[in-house]
Amino acid sequence: MRVLGIESSCDETGIALYDTEKGLLAHALFSQIEMHAEYGGVVPELASRDHIQKALPLMQQVLDEAGLQRKDIDAVAYTAGPGLVGALLVGAAIGRSLAWALTIPALPINHMEGHLLSPLLEANPPAFPFVSLLISGGHTLLVDVKGVGEYELMGESIDDAVGEAFDKTAKMLGLGYPGGPALAALAEKGQEGAHIFPRPMTNRPGLDFSFSGLKTFALNTWHNSDQSEQARADIALAFQTAAVETLVIKCRRALKQSGHKRLVVAGGVSANKSLRAALDALPKVQVYYPQLQFCSDNGAMIAFAGAMRHQAMVVETEATFNVRSRWPLDELTPPASA
């Protein structure tokens, strides 16, 4: 079975074809980062308009690369939330129309489930159950995963997502948008121990996070510094070290609480090298990540999530569809035949 995946929840148009027997056949991505960088963040209306322009050419590119035609697609999976409503509507409208025209199933996919399952695209995928740490620009979640669609929320951020805190701190340090990768690169030039930032919410029980204070701490440290290049790098390192250690402490706690021995990390921030090094050093735990190109938003994870759910699909004859700006993971249920 071949599933076409369409991702358009934010500032990346991602299209991919996943074959349940052969694996990922082809994928293509267009990032709008350059366009939004000018405004210091994502402009939703511009994002929607660009998805409209890029989705069909990318789809053609993916079909050409796979040597297939539209009639060879067996199902269409599209991101139906969470995300920017206008951007989501583009992928949903295209996905639904295509499925309608080809009389094949259309499957609305939860974007965070896409991230959560993305490490399963790799050659040695983790077996269920596992703890999932989902860290992106909009979410910081710890999830107890027993199977596809069996998600129990263990902890989440009560304010900024960790990626958002990276982005806001980077912006404050004048690093542009999106700041996560730039801040991580700058941290490499920082002096270890120049500043010690707090590890929020780690000295009390529980698995929730809070990252907005860390950003304020960085801002105050910057104002009290000589605002030199070295000061900038030292703050970047202190921020990253605190964010990483906070995530690691909570992961350790979540693993202990659940009894699971596998940790699966996904979402844009899972590309962070310092985080990967710290998690890989955890004793008696096997840690899994998506490959770097699938850490941030992409069509492959949506096609894959669609394939994982294909048993539950029925041929949708309705031409209506819905998207959701908010869609908690624990509202999902397993595919009917799982």
Cα dihedral 289, 290, 294, 297, rounded to 10, equals: -50
Give residues 7-66 in contact with Zn ion (rule: CB under 5 A). Answer: none
List the structure tokens of 138. 């909009």
Give residues 252-311 in contact with Zn ion (rule: CB under 5 A). Answer: 297
What binding mask, one character per residue, do residues 124-153 give for Zn ion by CB under 5 A, x or -? Answer: ------------x-----------------
Q: Report, in Å, the least distance between residue 36 CB and Zn ion.
A: 15
Distances (CA, A) of 236 to 185, 247, 275: 9, 17, 14
Distance from first CA to last CA of the chain, Å, rounded?
17
Nearer of residues 106 and 161 to ligand KG4, judged by Cβ: 161
Nearer of residues 227 and 293 to ligand KG4, judged by Cβ: 293
SS3 4: strand
The distance from CA 55 to its chain's CA centroid, rounded to whole angstroms, is 19
Q: Report, in Å, the least distance between residue 305 CB and Zn ion.
A: 12
Residues 6+ apart with CB under 8 A from 294: 118, 121, 300, 301
- How is residue 15 annotated by DSSP? E
91 burial via Cβ count (<10 Å: 0-12, 13-18, 19+):
buried
272 binds, among ligand KG4, Zn ion, none (CB under 5 to 8 A by kind): ligand KG4
Q: Report, in Å, the least distance between residue 146 CB and ligand KG4.
A: 23
Contact yes or no for 286/126 (Cβ under 8 A): yes
Nearer of residues 134 and 201 to Zn ion, judged by Cβ: 134
Contacts with ligand KG4 by CB under 6 A lie at: 10, 136-138, 163-164, 166-167, 178-181, 184, 267-269, 271-272, 296-297
Residue 164 lies near Zn ion (rule: CB under 5 A): no
Task: Say which amino acid occupies 333.
Answer: T
Nearer of residues 157 and 296 to ligand KG4, judged by Cβ: 296
The Cα–Cα gap between 302 and 281 comes to 30
Q: Report, in Å, the least distance between residue 98 CB and ligand KG4.
A: 24
How many residues sit in the footprint of Zn ion (CB under 5 A)?
A: 2
Q: Report, in Å, the least distance between residue 255 CB and ligand KG4.
A: 22
Cα dihedral 249, 250, 254, 255, rounded to 10, equals: -30
Residues 6+ apart with CB under 8 A from 311: 335, 336, 337, 338
79 binds, among ligand KG4, Zn ion, none (CB under 5 to 8 A by kind): none
Nearer of residues 166 and 327 to ligand KG4, judged by Cβ: 166
Nearer of residues 120 and 242 to Zn ion, judged by Cβ: 120
Nearer of residues 160 and 297 to Zn ion, judged by Cβ: 297
The Cα–Cα gap between 279 and 247 comes to 9
The distance from CA 133 to its chain's CA centroid, rounded to whole angstroms, is 10
Q: Report, in Å, the least distance between residue 113 CB and Zn ion.
A: 11
Q: Report, in Å, the least distance between residue 183 CB and ligand KG4.
A: 7
Q: Report, in Å, the least distance between residue 111 CB and Zn ion.
A: 6
Nearer of residues 2 and 51 to ligand KG4, judged by Cβ: 51
Residues lying near Zn ion in the complex (CB under 5 A): 136, 297
